[in-house]
């Protein structure tokens, strides 16, 4: 959870999310205060307030984050409920996307309803949903990943003040963004070893393949097609498939990229260990040439403001 404190109350051991001043004065974000020099640098700025994360460092009274608690029975019930709902949603999404991948029809009303239900799960149980979706079997990776990205996108959209219609459309876009992966053999998608050049090219083509698949459905809003095609682009033009730069990437596209990469970094995959949320957010924040830093910070705020209660 984020808490604002006066800059003169900052002390070593606090985890700073942001300092309320221009970045030219103090550009550092998301770090644990360890030295007197860091304290002096913060206090020398024009900031009045500093946002600290009391789940990752000391609170305003100097207390450490609470750890080692056993999970209460009521929370265990919620965890199992979210796990069950996520599993059912993944099976429904598998059927829907599987039909689309082989030329079936698209029911925008059904997709919108599914995205709304998924958004409700993430809004009510953010921390639980994040933990549940980190564990995926090989067979459900694409579907649970898409549910997680959809949930994160709706949370982030709402935190940015987007209207419900736009938020709902982004929820649908999150569900559909990786549909191109269904055209790739599963043994390549889940391969634990090093990919061949041909396999890598095939995987990198999934945004374009998904875009061409979805554009035959006129009911889909253009932003859904853009997110499917462009969610692997980077602000400096180093992404794919088109190599577009920041000025050509809309806010919804930049938002989808942040949510997609965050989920991929924190998920359990056969070829890597899962990163913690903090590791993923820090890694993304340190790469402003790729990710929109404001959206990375906002995503961190959304997640830390949703503790398990």
pLDDT of residue 30: 76
Residue 46 exposed, middle or buried by CB count within 10 Å (0-12, 13-18, 19+): exposed
pLDDT of residue 303: 86
Instruction: For residues 202 and 278, give the distance between their C-alpha atoms in angstroms, rounded to a whole number.
Output: 31
Domain limits of the chain?
2-53, 73-304
pLDDT in tens, the chain (309 residues): 678 889 999 999 998 877 887 767 787 877 889 998 999 999 999 988 888 888 778 888 888 876 555 555 666 778 888 888 998 999 999 999 999 999 999 999 999 999 999 999 998 888 889 888 887 766 678 899 999 999 999 999 999 999 999 999 999 999 999 999 999 988 888 777 788 999 999 999 999 999 999 999 999 999 999 999 999 999 999 999 999 999 999 999 999 999 999 999 998 765 667 788 888 999 999 999 999 999 999 999 888 755 433
Residue 2 CA: distances (Å) to CA of 246, 262, 282, 290, 302: 29, 19, 16, 25, 9
Could you identify the residue written with the tokens 């995926």?
A: 136
pLDDT of residue 234: 98
pLDDT of residue 66: 67
pLDDT of residue 308: 38
Instruction: For residues 199 and 193, give the distance between their C-alpha atoms in angstroms, rounded to a whole number.
Output: 11
Sequence-separated contacts (24+) of 22-27 with Cβ below 8 Å: 22/46
Give me the CATH topology for the region 73-304: Hypothetical protein af1432 (1.10.3210)
User: Are 2-53 and 73-304 equal in CATH topology?
Assistant: no
Q: What is the pTM of this model?
A: 0.77
Task: Note whether 178 and 203 are within 8 A (CB).
Answer: no
Give me the CATH topology for the region 2-53: Molybdopterin biosynthesis moea protein, domain 2 (3.90.105)
């Amino acid at each position: 959870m984020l808490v604002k404190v006066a800059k003169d109350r900052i002390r070593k051991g606090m985890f700073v999310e942001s300092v309320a001043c221009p970045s030219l004065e103090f550009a550092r974000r998301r770090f644990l205060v360890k030295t007197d020099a860091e304290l002096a640098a913060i206090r020398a700025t024009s900031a009045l307030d500093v946002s600290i994360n009391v789940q990752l460092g000391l609170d305003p009274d100097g207390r450490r984050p609470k750890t080692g608690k056993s999970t209460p029975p009521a929370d265990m019930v919620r965890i199992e409920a979210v796990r069950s709902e996520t599993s059912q949603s993944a099976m429904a999404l598998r059927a829907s996307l599987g039909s689309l991948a082989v030329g079936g029809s698209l029911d925008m009303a059904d997709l919108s309803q599914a995205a709304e239900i998924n958004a409700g799960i993430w809004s009510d149980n953010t921390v639980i949903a994040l933990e549940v979706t980190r564990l995926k079997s090989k067979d459900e990776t694409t579907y649970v990943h898409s549910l997680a990205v959809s949930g994160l996108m709706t949370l982030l959209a709402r935190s940015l003040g987007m209207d419900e219609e736009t938020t709902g459309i982004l929820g649908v876009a999150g569900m559909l963004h990786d549909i191109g992966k269904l055209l790739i053999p599963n043994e390549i998608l889940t391969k634990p070893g090093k990919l061949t050049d041909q396999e890598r090219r095939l995987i990198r083509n999934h945004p374009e393949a998904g875009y061409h698949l979805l554009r035959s459905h006129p009911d889909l809003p253009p932003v859904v097609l853009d997110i499917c095609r462009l969610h692997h682009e980077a602000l400096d033009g180093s992404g794919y498939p088109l190599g577009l730069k920041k000025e050509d990437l809309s806010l919804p596209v930049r938002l989808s990229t942040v949510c997609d990469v965050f989920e991929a970094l924190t998920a359990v995959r056969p070829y890597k260990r899962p990163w913690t949320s903090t590791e993923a957010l820090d890694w993304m924040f340190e790469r402003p040439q790729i990710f929109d830093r404001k959206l990375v910070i906002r995503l961190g705020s959304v997640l830390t403001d949703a503790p398990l209660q």
